[in-house]
Amino acid sequence: MSGIDTLPPLRDVIAAHGLSARKALGQNFLLDLNLTAKIARAAGDLTSCDVLEVGPGPGGLTRGLLAEGARRVLAIEKDARCLPALAEIAETYPGRLAVINADALGLDVSAHLAPPIKVVSNLPYNVGTELLVRWLTPPAWPPVWQSLTLMFQREVADRIVAQPGSKAYGRLAILAQWRTTARIALTLPPEAFTPPPKVHSAVVHLTALPAPRYPADPAVLERVVAKAFQQRRKMLRAALKGLAPDIEDRILAAGLTPTDRAEQIPIEGFCALARAVAG
C-alpha cells in the first residue's frame, strides 16, 4: 500500500494493465508517490481548485493531486491503455476525477472546468512547449488559470526562467515572465522516471499576474521578440531590419541603443520597443 492512498503501488498498476512505456507518447512515468505528492504540493493549496492534468498516464501525479485535496481533477490522456488504471483512481475518489481520452492539443477543456483553476502536469516532452505557449497566449489576460506547475526537460525549464544576459534568455523567457512570475520549484534526475529519459528534468511553477508587467500589444511584442532573437548575436538595428522603415529611430524612441543585442535587453525594453513599433 502506498503512503498516500489505498490503491496498489504504481509498479503493480503498470504490470496489471500492461502499460509498457511508449516513446512516441513521451511516456516517462513517475512511480514514487512521495515525489508526485511533492509536485502536487508545489502547486500550492489545491483544496478549492479544479486541476487540469495533461497526460496522467498510470496516474501517479493524479493520485498525488487528489491526496493533496484537489477539489476536482480533469485528466486528459491520449493513450487509451491508461483508462482502466485511471478508472480505479476515480472509484477511490468518488466525484473528484474526470478523465477524457483525447489529444490535449486538439481539445478545448474550458467547459469542463470551474474557477479557480490550476494546471499541474508531468508533460510529454514532445508537446510540452507547445502547450505552455498556448496557456501563456490566451485571447485575454488574466487567463482562466491561476498557476501552471509543469515538468519540463531541465534545458526548457532554464529557458523559461532565464534572465537577460544569459545564454538561455530568449522568446520563452519573455513570453513567460511578461505576464507571470516563473520559478523552478524542483529538479529531478533521470532516475526519478521509468524508463529514465536521457536528460534531467525540472518542475516550473508559473503564477499568472493580474496584468502584464509593462504595457504592450501581445502580437506586436511577439513579432519584435521573434525577429530580435532570430539571429540573437546580431545588433538590434540589423536584426529588426524590415520591421519598420525607420527602425533605428524607433529603437532610440524606445530608449534602447541600435547596437544593443537582443539577449541583453530586459522585458521592459522589449515592451517599449513593441510600443514604439506599434506607434
Q: CB-wise, 64 or 170, nearer to ligand SAM?
A: 64
Task: Answer yes or no: are the C-beta atoms of 65 and 49 closer than 8 Å.
Answer: no
Q: CB-wise, 104 or 277, nearer to ligand SAM?
A: 104
Coil, helix or strand at residue 277: helix
CB-count exposure of residue 268 (10 Å: 0-12, 13-18, 19+): middle
CB of 202 to ligand SAM, least distance (A): 13
Q: CB-wise, 56 or 170, nearer to ligand SAM?
A: 56
CB of 102 to ligand SAM, least distance (A): 7
CB-count exposure of residue 194 (10 Å: 0-12, 13-18, 19+): middle
**Contacting residues toward ligand SAM, per CB under 6 A:** 25-30, 54-57, 60-61, 76-79, 82, 103-105, 122, 124, 127
**In what helix (H) or strand (E) does residue 167 lie, and over which residues does it extend?**
none
Identity of the amino acid at 176: A
Q: CB-wise, 90 or 273, nearer to ligand SAM?
A: 90
CB of 139 to ligand SAM, least distance (A): 22
CB of 211 to ligand SAM, least distance (A): 31
| CB hemisphere CA count around 50 (13 angstroms) | 16
CB of 6 to ligand SAM, least distance (A): 19
Using Cβ positions, the residue closest to ligand SAM within the complex turns out to be 55
Q: CB-wise, 127 or 144, nearer to ligand SAM?
A: 127
CB of 225 to ligand SAM, least distance (A): 26
Q: CB-wise, 81 or 223, nearer to ligand SAM?
A: 81
Count of CB atoms within 10 A of residue 223's CB? Answer: 16
The torsion angle over the Cα atoms of residues 90, 45, 34 and 180, rounded to 10 degrees, is 110
> E strands along the chain, which residues?
29-30, 50-54, 72-77, 97-101, 117-122, 145-153, 180-188, 193-194, 201-208
Interatomic CA distance for residues 106 and 47, integer angstroms: 28
